[in-house]
Structure 1
Amino acid sequence: MSYVGPDFDPPQPRRPRRGPLTVALAALVPGALLGWLVYEAVGGSGDDGKGSDQATVRSSTASTSPSAAASSPSDDAKQPDSPKPTLVSPTSSAPTSSAPAASGSLRGKVIVIDPGHNPGNFQHTAEINRKVNIGTNFKECDTTGTSTNAGYTEAQFTLDVSHRLKALLEKQGATVKLTHDNGSPSWGPCVDQRARIGNEARADAAISIHADGAAAGDRGFHVILPGIVHAGAADTRAIVAPSADLGERVAGNFVRVTGEPPSNYIGDGTGLVTRKDLGGLNLSTVPKVFIECGNMRDSKDAALLTSPAWRQKAAQGISEGIVSFLRG
């Protein structure tokens, strides 16, 4: 299913008729032309992410400032290091849903999307609790993830947003690979394998989609950047700079398109956090970031995360950030 709106095919001009109707038709032409011009003037993109395929991508600009992180619930994407991320200025006002420009503009680019967790992890706790090497130490293969208070799981959310994101990027000609999809495999993959999938695909960009499980009242999104790690099987030195560029662009576009504010509980309001404890980042050899799209345990964020229209905006914002990064 396509997640972007249908293209509009303008009506074909009518062939003039001969005979007594010629004068009447000639009188109607100016009115029809005026109606068409009015339609074009007001026919912009809607607020549900179903915008025109010809809208221009706008990249976010960012300045730099150090920040300190607070702790968050235990998970492969939820144990912060002491970051010094680059500041993203949350200058977004109203949400927008303009689509990235130019179908085919990403032809030749490879993007790996990693939907956080797996809906089947709940039935395979022994397997996902197995420890794997993440370079600096050993951590669980994966976790079940979190959920809203009403039971909408993080794994459901991440797979839905990943499908929407995949559709947007493929429409522009990119080759897109998911680390798992629709119950295959039935659990996992482990965090080291998720990184390996991006590496083996030689991805131009990779992103792991998540939602957080912090306390009620904690809300907002944040993008996690890899820190410099050179230990064991991990060596992030070559990807730290391009990953920071990718993360800044994703964060800037995400806040602009969705209207979701940067996290108020981690990242000092920058929307960016640097970590060295995530196997998905430590073991990556391609530019990669994580995004925590919101807090599933906060009622305001949960209302957004469970909305299909908002999830389309989330996919749109992430897509525009990736496109901006790949275009340089």
Structure 2
Amino acid sequence: MSYAGPGFEPPRPDRPDRPDRPWRARRGPAVAVAALVCGGLLGWLGYEAVGASGDADGGSGRAAGAAPSPSSSSPSPSPSGKVSAHSSSPSSAAPSGDDGKPAGGAPGTLRGKVVVIDPGHNPGNFRHTSEIDRKVNIGTNWKECDTTGTSTNSGYAEARFTLDVAHRLRTLLERQGATVKLTHDDGSPGWGPCVDERARIGDTAHADAAISIHADGSAAGNRGFHVILPAAVHDGAADTRPIAAASRDLGERVAGTFLRATGEPPSNYLGGGTGLVTRKDLGGLNLSTVPKVFIECGNMRDRTDASLLTSGAWRQKAAEGMSEGIVSFLRQS
């Protein structure tokens, strides 16, 4: 997902306000960033490289491929279930292959819980530009129904990436007993849905948690993941005040477990090293009445991140990281 577009307001770096979130950068940003770098360097040294899965397809057909790049080992969870950026212990997640099969989990843990997964964009959007350009009201302003999303320089589309990760995440959550709904799936519908409808699907399902999956399209050299939290918005049809705190809790947990599972560092260009960004210009968050976050898993235009995003093995780790955070959130809710 790119940040360019009408009505864009630059994201505000998250300001820590919860002392019980040990994984996030707090006092002394330089110390926290240095710890992240050191942990990342240790992870690079211990990494066993995995190649791309070979299923990259679709997109804009832009030239230049992405070379494979290692993924770092990750911090271990703290006793509270959050992840500390100051730990360099390897991930405890069970390994899994490139077949999308879950790496483990307790069957029935999430029985009775509903999770809505929103795969960002749609592979068919580029065929329906007039439909997705239509403006919809998101409370704070009007925005396009949807966009085509971005792609790697070699043409692997964000919309293909998000669907693949969504399928893997669904498998993991269903194995633990959750009822999982996708806002759209392959070929259904052929474009969209619009951002307001994506929010409405989660609302109608009375989801206990919702997550929208994306990958960014920023400049080369900008890399890392970030989780987008809803600001406390009360404007028009948007009122996120009842779900802002729960969404922050969900986002912090997902950010911590995603870091641990994938080794992908927090964004070096947004969020001040916390991996968290708060925004009020996204319809999928503004119009949600259930706890919801977005995750930008990496930057598709950065060579290092692209080599991970196009790897099926890494996408499985990404799904595992999201699943662990969602499970952690739902167990305490």
Q: Distance in 2 between matches of 1:230 and 1:248?
A: 23
Q: Distance in 2 between matches of 1:77 and 1:259?
A: 33
Q: Residue 259 of structure 2 aligns to a residue in which SS?
A: helix
Query: Which residue in 1 is equivalent to 2:267?
Result: 263
1:178 to 175, 182, 185: 182
Give the TM-score taking structure 1 as reference length.
0.75
User: Closer, same or farther in 2 for the Cα pair 1:78/1:150, shift >3 Å?
Assistant: farther
C-alpha distance after superposition, 1:81-122 (max 9, x if no partner): 324344743345344533453111100000000000000000
Query: Which residue in 1 is equivalent to 2:216?
Result: 212
1:273 to 274, 277, 282: 277
Gaps of 5+ in 1: 1-71
Displacement of 1:80 = 3.7
Query: Which residue in 2 is equivalent to 1:139?
Result: 143
Matched, 1:309 2:313: yes
Give runs of aligned pairs for residues 215-234 of structure 1, distance below 5 A.
215-234=219-238
Q: Is the 8 A contact 1:225 1:247 kept in 2?
A: yes
Q: Is the 8 A contact 2:14 2:274 kept in 1?
A: no
Task: Indicate the percent of aligned positions where both proteins have the same amino acid.
Answer: 75
Q: Distance in 1 between matches of 2:235 and 2:210?
A: 22
C-alpha distance after superposition, 1:218-264 (max 9, x if no partner): 00000000001001000000000000000000000000010000000
Q: Is the 8 A contact 1:100 1:320 kept in 2?
A: no
Q: Distance in 1 between matches of 2:269 and 2:7?
A: 15
Gaps of 5+ in 2: 25-84, 95-102
Query: Which residue in 2 is equivalent to 1:12?
Result: none
Displacement of 1:74 = 1.6
Q: Give the CA RMSD over aligned residues.
A: 1.7
Aligned length: 257
Q: Distance in 1 between matches of 2:230 and 2:87?
A: 25
Q: Residue 93 of structure 2 aligns to a residue in which SS?
A: coil
Q: Distance in 1 between matches of 2:117 and 2:3?
A: 23
Give the TM-score taking structure 2 as reference length.
0.74
User: Closer, same or farther in 2 for the Cα pair 1:114/1:308, shift >3 Å?
Assistant: same
Q: Distance in 2 between matches of 1:208 and 1:78?
A: 19
**Equivalent AA in structure 1 for residue 294 of structure 2:** F
C-alpha distance after superposition, 1:119-154 (max 9, x if no partner): 000000000000000001100000000000000000
1:103 to 104, 107, 111: 107
Matched, 1:238 2:242: yes
Give the ranges of 4+ consecutive aligned residues of structure 1 lying more than 6 Å apart after TM superposition.
none
Displacement of 1:183 = 1.4
Task: Indicate the structure (1 or 2) with the bigger Cα radius of gyration.
Answer: 1
